[in-house]
Amino acid sequence: MDSIHLRIPGPTPIPPRIQQAMLAPMIGHRSGEFKRLYAEVTAQLPPLFGTRQRVLVLTASGTAALEAAAVNAVAPGEEVIVVVTGAFGDRFAAICERYGLITRRLEVAWGEAADPDRLRAFLRQHPKAKAVFLTYCETSTGVLNPVAELARVVREESEALVIVDGVSAIGGAPCEMDSWGLDIVVTGSQKALMLPPGLALVAVSERAWQAIEANPAPRFYLDLLAYRKAAEEASSPYTPAVSLFFGLREALAMIEEETLDAAVARHALLRDMTRAAIKALGLPLLADDAAASPTVTAVGPFDGSVLDPEALRACLRKRHGLVLAGGQKKLKGRIFRIGHMGWCAPFDILAVIAALETGLAELGYPVALGKGVQAAQEVYVRHVSRAHHGSAV
């Protein structure tokens, strides 16, 4: 049995109809067919970001989109604030440092969300900051940072651009880029968009375009001005990953059929089911309820516990083909993470929890079999019942 159940926070499983769409015969990237594909796809992307701005598509992974935001919007020698809540905020800061930006790190304990008041004080300490870098969903901890509130504080305190890593969030968490006052939001294809890795999406505000146009710092493959210019002709400046564009069109069709609101509500439900189950099993959750991401749940830390999360992951991989993620950097070996984004339904969470319970039992961890499943079921049944009675999700 080599059936695999991939429940890590990206890459995520690819729905068969997206696989099928990517099988379309190859086309030239300068052809009319590609221009139509490009135009169709890019017309449907802005609602995912909550923006009326154009969304640019780069052939690269999410890290390249983070770098694109940094090198286009800020020039070397300028000051920036990076709010670091985990491994990906840390990477954002590393990119800024590498490019000679004066980088002020606002460090937050891993597993906690950034606090708007702390950011306000930090902004007052660093009034020259040209940009503030935020991580919406910090994939390494399962924390969803309050970017709307954080962005409001930035706008109240300064003229700094608000640059947001939306990699594990867009499509799974609400995003209202324009009304929240976000200036650059980036994401990747391999998360809630249900595609293989290889495409990075970048949305840019008018304010950010002004900074980008004025920025003399060198960039070529990641030059957003080149992507904007090509986009005016429904084209990509460099050869795009054509098959992933075919897949993206199908993914956007799936999201449109479900509706974006329903997709976002589904992710919240998956989070609530997962967290209820973990609590019922008596396992620790790294993030508080108020800070919990709808796309990934970190379980742990297991410091001093008899449970070794790496042994648990190995057992689940072997017995059930269930692939969960481990911890990164300072959380390595101390937590495990359940990805519940993209092509993931309540059914999948029930199965994940049921398998998890057997793994705990096999490792000798005291577990009341079925207890986690029951808690998840109760969340689900309440949700369905509320939906039947017409309440808001």
Q: Is residue 364 at the binding interface for a copy of itself, with CB under 8 A as the rule?
A: no
Q: Shortest Cβ distance from residue 66 to a copy of itself (Å)? A: 8
Q: Is residue 63 at the binding interface for a copy of itself, with CB under 8 A as the rule?
A: yes
From the list 91-99, 178-186, 201-209, 301-309, the region that binds a copy of itself by CB under 8 A is 91-99
Q: Tell me how crowded residue 115 is: count the other CB atoms within 10 A of its CB.
A: 18
In this structure, what is the dihedral angle of CA atoms 318, 321, 324, 329, given to the nearest 10 degrees? 50
- Cα–Cα distance between 210 and 326 in angstroms, integer? 41
Q: Is residue 239 at the binding interface for a copy of itself, with CB under 8 A as the rule?
A: yes
The residue from 85, 145, 158, 190 that contacts a copy of itself (CB under 8 A) is 190
Residue 345 Cα to chain centre, angstroms? 17
Residue with tokens 């509130």: 149
- Cα–Cα distance between 81 and 217 in angstroms, integer? 19
- Cα–Cα distance between 307 and 300 in angstroms, integer? 10
From the list 25-33, 119-127, 266-274, 367-375, the region that binds a copy of itself by CB under 8 A is 25-33
Mode of pairing for the β-strands spanning 199-204 and 184-188:
antiparallel
Query: Is 118 annotated as ligand-binding?
Result: no
The residue from 36, 98, 229, 330 that contacts a copy of itself (CB under 8 A) is 98
User: Judged by CB, which is closer to a copy of itself: 102, or 361?
Assistant: 102
Q: Shortest Cβ distance from residue 214 to a copy of itself (Å)? A: 17
Q: Is residue 8 at the binding interface for a copy of itself, with CB under 8 A as the rule?
A: yes
From the list 12-20, 102-110, 140-148, 370-378, the region that binds a copy of itself by CB under 8 A is 12-20
The residue from 198, 300, 309, 372 that contacts a copy of itself (CB under 8 A) is 198
Q: Is residue 238 at the binding interface for a copy of itself, with CB under 8 A as the rule?
A: yes
Q: Is residue 23 at the binding interface for a copy of itself, with CB under 8 A as the rule?
A: yes
Asked whether the beta carbons of 190 and 197 are under 8 A apart, the reply is yes
Q: Which two tokens stand for residue 27?
A: 């086309």
- Cα–Cα distance between 147 and 43 in angstroms, integer? 25
From the list 55-63, 121-129, 151-159, 253-261, the region that binds a copy of itself by CB under 8 A is 55-63
Task: Name the residue among 93, 82, 216, 86 with its Cα closest to residue 160.
Answer: 82
- Cα–Cα distance between 203 and 327 in angstroms, integer? 29
- Cα–Cα distance between 187 and 167 in angstroms, integer? 4
How far from each other are the two terminal CA atoms of the chain, in whole angstroms? 38
Q: Shortest Cβ distance from residue 8 to a copy of itself (Å)? A: 5
Q: Shortest Cβ distance from residue 16 to a copy of itself (Å)? A: 9
Q: Is residue 347 at the binding interface for a copy of itself, with CB under 8 A as the rule?
A: no
Q: Is residue 325 at the binding interface for a copy of itself, with CB under 8 A as the rule?
A: yes
Q: Is residue 296 at the binding interface for a copy of itself, with CB under 8 A as the rule?
A: no
Mode of pairing for the β-strands spanning 161-165 and 184-188:
parallel
The residue from 126, 152, 219, 279 that contacts a copy of itself (CB under 8 A) is 219
Residue 371 Cα to chain centre, angstroms? 30
Q: How far is CA 365 from CA 267, 281, 350, 362, in A?
A: 29, 10, 20, 7
Mutual angle of helices 242-258 and 260-280, in 10-degree steps: 80
Q: Shortest Cβ distance from residue 197 to a copy of itself (Å)? A: 4
Return the ∠ at Cα 210 (arms to 208 and 215), rounded to 5°: 95
Mode of pairing for the β-strands spanning 131-135 and 161-165:
parallel
Q: How many residues bind a copy of itself (CB under 8 A)?
A: 51
Q: Shortest Cβ distance from residue 128 to a copy of itself (Å)? A: 21
The residue from 94, 102, 230, 350 that contacts a copy of itself (CB under 8 A) is 94
From the list 63-71, 107-115, 144-152, 253-261, the region that binds a copy of itself by CB under 8 A is 63-71
Residues making up the annotated binding site for substrate are: 337
Contacting positions for a copy of itself (CB under 8 A): 4, 6, 8, 10-14, 19, 22-23, 25-31, 59-64, 67, 76, 94-95, 98-100, 188, 190, 196-198, 218-222, 237-244, 323, 325
